[in-house]
Amino acid sequence: MSKTLFDKVWDAHVVREIEGGRSVLYIDRHYIHEVTSPVAFSGIRNRGLKVFRPQQTTATPDHNVPTLNQHLPIEDEQSRSQVETLIANCKEQGIELFGLNHPKQGIVHVIGPETALTQPGMTIVCGDSHTSTHGAFGAVAFGIGTSEVEMVFASQTILQPKPKTMLIRVEGELGKGVTAKDVVLYIISKISSSGGTGHFIEFGGSAIRSLSMEGRMTVCNMSIECGARGGMIAPDETTFAYLKGREYAPKGKEWDAAVAQWKTLYSDKDAVFDTVYEFDAADIKPMITFGTNPGMGIAIDASIPYSDHLSGSDKVSFEKALQYMGFNSGESMIGKKIDYVFVGSCTNGRIEDFRAFAQAVKGKKKAEGVTVWLVPGSKAVEKQAYEEGIVDILKEAGFEFRQPGCSACLAMNADKVPEGKYCVSTSNRNFEGRQGQGARTLLASPLTAAAAAVTGQITDIREFIK
């Protein structure tokens, strides 16, 4: 029978199916961090259990960590306690930990791929919704809650209902200044922030194929922002070239065998998806959000929509969002003054993102009065940015390059946007208060962030780079 890519990977990991449509799903790789793991560790301890397969779990602190002076003890007492608890728990359970200042530390969804712990055909979970990132390698990867983290600790399996499948195809060539981030913001603006709920998405089409692994990760990362359980892309030569030679990738004969197996991971020609969307790459422009969920995105040169076509709670929610943002329908986004720029996160904190940002700001100067946080996704990204001379370009233009962590994406550390201030952010969520109480987030690509950082206002990158 014809199968989708998702079905192939999922079915190969079902230990048993139980009544009511749930499956006991075997997990190949489990990533943990300091925020969603402590209660799960207490849970197995209270049951008198040990972690069943500690060698399949990898830990790193990322959500809470400061992005300056990481060699010093963490100032915030609670953050420090969470990070110390992670260290103690990993030691007790024999789990490998990439702690602060370790060369492999970083945002969990950045370090998994860059060390090749993430590989095609795997099932991967983490107590973090952006686990969908790893789907870029043709893995079934999705975020779970803490109860489920405990299930994985206890049994290396979880109980899950099998999601429906969705194919999103983007065909054609991407225009100037249009990045992977714009592609995914465009898709979410079309299908809404709940359009993918209950589904696992496969992204395909020539525009997706043309993306680098970094770009594919950006797309899969944000599949949760349309409500999907995860997103994935069939592995191909781009995938294999990225993985080859990385630390945990198979070597020698094992590599050849692995690639041969990975090449079977694609949706069969006549495989049937529950839902299919097709988009034309030529319709996609640089995108920016104007509201308080990631589905509220528009082309950067468009004006803020009206709510006339909405009614009831749809209308109320739309107007509440505009009020929070301090925007009015009909206004143009271009030219709006901004206060902060954040480049980083598991969405856009990879080397390619900083290359793009540096290229765009090279020879220019940071706008006065704008605070810019450039936060690498990992120690490896940080190191590479120094080695490639990216940091020199940034410094020359008046920017500071920080140390790795989740940072202002969710503002659990000190990197908080003040109330009422506008932040052009390369992260994934523009929810109320996400970047700090009362903060106003405008989601965009690293290129659009670069244009804002040097002009101090929302700027069309296509005008900026011509």
Partner 1 sequence: MAIPKFVTFTSQAVPLNIENIDTDQIIPARFLKAVERKGFGDNLFRDWRFNKTGDKIETFPLNDHRYSGKILIAGKNFGCGSSREHAAWSLFDYGFRVVVSSFFADIFKNNALNNGLLPVQVSESFLQEIFTAIQSSPSTTFTVNLEQQTFTIDSTGHTFSFSIDGYKKECLLNGYDDVDYLVSLKPEIETFENKKNDK
Min dist CB 325 to partner 1, Å, is 14
Of 17, 31, 247, which Cα lies nearest the Cα of 139? 31
The string of DSSP codes covering 378-401 is BHHHHHHHHHTTHHHHHHHTT--B
Closer of 367 and 414 to partner 1 (Cβ): 414
Tokens of residue 115, six digits: 């060390």
Closer of 276 and 316 to partner 1 (Cβ): 316
Distance from C-alpha of 449 to C-alpha of 377, rounded to nearest angstrom: 16
Cα→Cα distances 243→6, 179, 235, Å: 21, 22, 11
Distance from C-alpha of 444 to C-alpha of 100, rounded to nearest angstrom: 29
Min dist CB 284 to partner 1, Å, is 24
Closer of 131 and 267 to partner 1 (Cβ): 131
Closer of 138 and 177 to partner 1 (Cβ): 138
Min dist CB 129 to partner 1, Å, is 4
A 10 A CB-CB count for 405 gives: 30
Closer of 350 and 434 to partner 1 (Cβ): 434
Min dist CB 111 to partner 1, Å, is 19
Distance from C-alpha of 49 to C-alpha of 47, rounded to nearest angstrom: 5
Are residues 291 and 189 in contact, defined by beta-carbon separation less than 8 angstroms? no
Of 253, 228, 227, 250, which Cα lies nearest the Cα of 240? 250
Cα→Cα distances 49→46, 150, 155, Å: 8, 10, 10
Burial of 165 (0-12, 13-18, 19+ CB in 10 A): buried
Min dist CB 63 to partner 1, Å, is 8
Tokens of residue 340, six digits: 């902060």
Min dist CB 264 to partner 1, Å, is 12
A 10 A CB-CB count for 212 gives: 15
SS3 of 169-220 = EEECCCCCCCCHHHHHHHHHHHHCCCCCCCEEEEEECHHHHCCCHHHHHHHH
- Phi, psi dihedral angles at 101 (to 5 degrees): 75, -5
Helix, strand, coil percentages in the chain from 3-state DSSP, rounded to 5: 40, 20, 45
Min dist CB 391 to partner 1, Å, is 28
Min dist CB 369 to partner 1, Å, is 24
Closer of 385 and 411 to partner 1 (Cβ): 411
Are residues 166 and 228 in contact, defined by beta-carbon separation less than 8 angstroms? yes
Closer of 153 and 422 to partner 1 (Cβ): 153
Min dist CB 347 to partner 1, Å, is 14
Min dist CB 434 to partner 1, Å, is 5
Min dist CB 464 to partner 1, Å, is 31
Closer of 103 and 145 to partner 1 (Cβ): 145
Closer of 41 and 327 to partner 1 (Cβ): 41
Closer of 114 and 150 to partner 1 (Cβ): 150
A 10 A CB-CB count for 7 gives: 20
DSSP, res 304: P
In sequence order, what are the residues at sequence separation of 6 or more whose Cβ sits closer than 8 angstroms to the Cβ of residue 412? Answer: 35, 63, 64, 79, 406
